[in-house]
Amino acid sequence: MKTDKGDLAPRVGGAWRFTEKSVIRAGYGLYYPTSAAQGMRDAMATNPFNQGRTAGATADAPLSPWPGFAHGFSPLTGGSLRRLSGFPSANALPFDLKEPRIQQYNVTFEQEIGWKTALRVSYLGTRMSRLITGRDLNMIPPNDIPYATTIGDGVTACDPYNGDCDTSDADRARVPFPGLGDYLSSFGNFGHGYSHAFQAEAKRRFSGGFLFNANYTLLSQQVSAVDSANSTLGGTAYNQFKPENDFGRDSFVPRHRFVLYSIYEVPVGKGKKFGSSMPKWAETVVGNWETSWQMFAKSGTGFTPWWGCDNCDPARPGNLASSFIDPLGDFGDAGGGYRPLVAGDPTKRSGNQIFNPDAFDVPTVGADVLDNPKVAKRNLLTGPGTWGVNLGVHKRFRFGERLVADLGADFNNLFNHPLFSPNQDGGDTYSNLGSFSIGVDPNTFKILPITDVTRNPDFGRLLNSYTQEGVDSRRTVRVKLRITF
């Protein structure tokens, strides 16, 4: 890969203290985040070469057990090799791939209001360009010409339910690299985005046994590249031929987020405001306790509804000639699936099901499979908001000059509040509508309109509590005793 020599990263900042208790700060910087392994590790790995070969049963070449082994426990022999069997799928890196470029700028007003307390109001902006997104160089644009819908001879229709679909010579001639398998994964700098954030913070320095920090963020973040948190493969646009179709709010990011934490020393006991002259036994029981607590509240994050396909290989809706298609872009459970058509109001609730499954239809099977106007947009759905609270109670006991005992209890998720707020990374099943199977018209070889559908009864249901923001998914209590001498 070519060394990128143009990554200059100037940064500038300034502050104006116009009163003893007021200050305005501003800054701008150009950043190039450290490249993760995404899109690179697999392509540049030095693993030994290996390639599988797949055979299927045909009328002339049935599969049979390997001689000398019991049927059902043996490797199989016979059958007919699939046309793509032995063709290597590959990963590739463009020589001119560049690091993403991020511009950050901010303006802050800070005001001290007394009582060891200060207020801060900030605007934080970000412009992101050259974001890395995946694509398949061997995928062909969606079309209405059948692909891999025969048994490989180009004249006999296959049955996807039997698994006998294969590519013909005419099919392979349609892909850019016919000598490769069903994908040639690569990456490019065609993602971009921006964010605008408003922050308000109130904080008190530790004084008089009390400290607190409260912070609220209002955020709008729009991107076209998928942030999948997948450090191996990165992410891919659903429609790599029109990646701008996915420009919209980012995954994982709530619009509203509030965080509060504090430490409070109970003012009772020796040297405190109250009870400084209480008896020793009373001071031991109720004096010098310290409490700490942390809480968060946030709105829901975005989800993308999707269908899985049970028999889409190698024939598939849109005749794409590739298994690289991914409705979520994270190469997870949804890989090889499709986004639905929106046919109603998805926000209609029913009990603990916060998304309406009847608002979605199966995808089309032809040239408009990826960019039909009704295709669900990325993060179309908004999951539930949630909140949680942790509490800690601690006390130190001294026995003479050298022996110290620390006694405490930590209550994680104090109110045992269910955190029904997965993000897209942990909510693949949560946003899965179910699966479908395809059939082939024996006369035209075209994929038939989808009618064989198995719906996921748990789509959009609030069934699981998810650990997040340092708060456990259910209440846990830890009691500890530490003796130091």
| Percent share of the chain, pLDDT over 70 | 86
CA atoms of 158 and 10, how far apart (whole Å): 60
- Determine contact, residues 219/257, Cβ cutoff 8 Å: yes
Instruction: Identify the H or E element spanning 42.
Output: helix 41-44
pLDDT value at 71 more than 60: no
At residue 121, the 3 state secondary structure works out as strand
6-20, 29-43, 361-375, 423-437: segment of lowest average pLDDT: 29-43
The backbone region for 152, taken as left when phi is positive above 0, alpha when psi lies in -120 to 50, beta otherwise, is left
DSSP letter for 385, please. -
- The amino acid present at 361, given as its one-letter code, is D
Q: Dump pLDDT digits (tens) for 356-368.
A: 999 999 999 999 9
At residue 172, the 3 state secondary structure works out as helix
pLDDT bin (cut points 50, 70, 90) of residue 69 is: low
Q: Dump pLDDT digits (tens) for 284-326.
A: 788 889 999 999 999 999 999 999 999 998 999 999 999 889 9
pLDDT at 314: 92
Nearest to 312 by CA among 205, 418, 421, 437: 437
pLDDT at 63: 63
Q: Hey, what are 343's tokens?
A: 């046919």
In this structure, what are the phi and psi dihedrals at residue 41, rounded to the nearest 5 degrees? -60, -50
pLDDT bin (cut points 50, 70, 90) of residue 430 is: confident
Q: Dump pLDDT digits (tens) for 5-15.
A: 888 999 999 99
pLDDT at 82: 63
Give helix then strand counts, H and E, for the chain.
Answer: 3, 24
CA atoms of 370 and 361, how far apart (whole Å): 14
Nearest to 206 by CA among 287, 259, 261, 257: 261
Q: What angle do CA 345, 351, 356 make, to 5 degrees?
A: 20
CA atoms of 129 and 188, how far apart (whole Å): 12
Going from N- to C-terminal start, the domains of the chain cover 11-34+86-484
